[in-house]
Amino acid sequence: MLPWAADPVPSSHRPPIAAPRPLTLTIHARTREDPWAWLRDREDPAVRAHLEAENAHTDAVMAPTQPLQEQLYREMLARMREDDETVPVPDGGWSYGTRTIAGRSYAVHVRRSEATADGPEQLVLDENALAEGHPYLAVRALVTSPDHRRVAWAADTRGDERYTLGIRDIASGEVLPDVVENAGAALAWSAAGDHLFYLRQDDARRPCEVWRHALGTPPGDDVRVLHEPDERFHVELQRDRSGRFIVITCESRTSSEVHVVDAATPCNPPRRLIPRREGIELSVALHGERVFILHNDGAPEFELSWAPLDATDPHHWRPLLPHREDTHLERVEAFADHLVVWLRRAGVPQLHVVDLAGDQHHDIGMPEPIYALDPGPNRRFDTAVYRFYYSSMVTPLQVVDYDVRARSWTVRKHYEVPGYDAGALVTERHLATAPDGTAVPISIVRRRCDVGRPQPLMLIGYGAYGRSIDARFSSNRLSLVERGVAVGIAHVRGGGELGRAWYDGGRLLHKPNTFSDFVAATRHVIAIGIACPDRIAVHGGSAGGLLVGAVLNAAPDLYAAAVADVPFVDVLNSMLDATLPLTVIERDEWGDPLLPEHYDAIAAWSPYENVGPHRYPAVLALAGWSDPRVGYWEAAKWVARLRELAVGEPEILLRTHMGAGHGGPSGRYAALAETAFVFAFVLRQLGAA
């Protein structure tokens, strides 16, 4: 039995029957009906009963795949080192690391003195202990105090992203009574380690306040440091790498503002470093008496400038990396003698090093043309070694230490995958043509022996917030590929793969480009002989679930199966409800339906609104009861409407995790079981089981 799977439930295999309760809505003189609006009422016992009936039906329908799920789970578990540890991270005379232990779901954080590498290990935090008595755990913002005596963390035990802050004395193991409830997921210590800065959220789960806690005092004595009243903005918090400042950033989708608090004088009020200007987005890296500013002021793909710390008005900014139309700058990190700039060219991430002493620049060379990069833990300010993670669709994850002076890199760890033969797979990049002539990149991984013949395909998409889905490695994905199912990523507009113009081309009134790009990518892989036309599955989560719903409405005949994970499919109703978490912030992404033009645009593509009498493919929708980002009811309403209107009674399944939120079940074993469940659904529908 899988770690958290339910026992098979006898059933007639007929889906639950729930009567619609039509709700008539009128705005801008447009009238429409929402027959499943009642599913939003989590206090209604009928709602929970309906979701539990849906879960029982899904378990019953999927019961014949239980042996396949078990097999998939064992395969994926065999590729994972259950007993493992990360590469140590040097910081303040200590080497910090994380271990996993066979049979335990969560990480154990440890450290050793750098002076005695073989000396005794000290426990920093055991997440398994935090998880005891809770069905869910997510730990965020694990930060040690500057003197390395204490560690603070933010823990979510419900999946609703309301965090409890804890502090532990590392040497003694004592957990301090300084507990703060209902906080955000960011923390920053003062220089002396006697004050802890944290976030609070409003009723819409928007991080909007920074508070300061003095160790040894009750939370009721905490002081509010900053309040952001504009509902379009959220607040971020961190300590800069040099340790000199607490950096507070207020951000909307289109503007930014930066405040700083001197970490040595934490009780002083914050100083506004760079005020907001509408349409100007920026981030900063502090460096002594200079501040490096990554901004889009007259630079759509962003420019890197610098200014004196005491004179940061825009007329004092001096360009360091001027704007280039073919290069999108994403982030900058400052160290004592150099900067590391994350950028993109031709849809591929790259790292650029700026030598601050010699004013020399160079790119870090990568061994493959298509790959993925992720930042590593780089805690030291005065260092010449930069750590990052590298992988590709055929190369398992590598931990790389790059020496910026010698311009050489060392692979500190290569995550081995037992039984994996990289030579048996190939990865490719193709370009589809969208209806408006735009070239849309597609990344593919498949078996070498399948080249030259069509095969089943799972095509993944996202296309929102300017976020990129890069061509990274997945050991779990091998369970599909080794069964002859190719896996592809359609890098559609709305994402950030090709820069800011690519993002803007798939948001607000241009959102339909995201969907037509994905359909074009699907047709292209069929046309060039990669995919069988009747054996394609589409997969997306959250905003990617919106993509799934929209493309099924636009071209249901193209797909044999669809997986929508916490799908944002009830867009029009959610964007009209300002009481929901994040709605006001999200209007800069999807549009503001209080404006007639935006209302009509969203209504034209919102997945729930546009379900019609089509022959839809098999659908698996996944939701979380505690999800604060995409309400559980979005998937529930969408599934009900699909069942009501779809032609031919396709297999449409809903699973709601009653003890989880946006990220699904927590813990590595439960996550594997969830993946096995999803893959079993896909393999069965594609005839590749």
Q: Locate tokens 């849309």: which residue? A: 440
Contacts 24+ apart (CB under 8 A), 92-96: 92/144, 92/146, 92/148, 92/379, 93/148, 94/148, 96/124, 96/144, 96/377, 96/379
Residue 490 CA to residue 486 CA, distance in Å, equals: 13
Catalytic residue, chosen from 295, 323, 657, 662, is 662
Give Cβ neighbours of residue 667 (< 8 Å, ≥ 6 apart).
105, 106, 131, 137
Amino acid making up residue 80:
M
Residue 319 CA to residue 317 CA, distance in Å, equals: 7
Task: From 166, 179, 214, 43, select the one nearest 633 (Cα to Cα).
Answer: 43
For the beta carbon of residue 361, count every other beta carbon within 10 angstroms. Answer: 14
Residue 227 annotated in active site: no
Residue 57 annotated in active site: no
Catalytic residue, chosen from 542, 574, 626, 666, is 542
Pairing relationship of beta strands 338-345 and 348-355 according to DSSP bridges? antiparallel
The answer to whether 282 touches 307, Cβ cutoff 8 Å, is no
Residue 410 CA to residue 452 CA, distance in Å, equals: 37
Catalytic residue, chosen from 57, 598, 627, 657, is 627
Angle made by CA atoms 278, 281, 283, in degrees to the nearest 5: 140
For the beta carbon of residue 24, count every other beta carbon within 10 angstroms. Answer: 9
Q: Which two tokens stand for residue 445?
A: 């991984």
Spell out a b/e string for 333-347, using b for 16 or more CB atoms within 10 Å of the CB, else e. bbbebbbbbbbbeeb
Q: Locate tokens 């704007």: which residue? A: 323
Residue 544 CA to residue 414 CA, distance in Å, equals: 30
Residue 75 CA to residue 264 CA, distance in Å, equals: 52
The catalytic residues are: 542, 627, 662
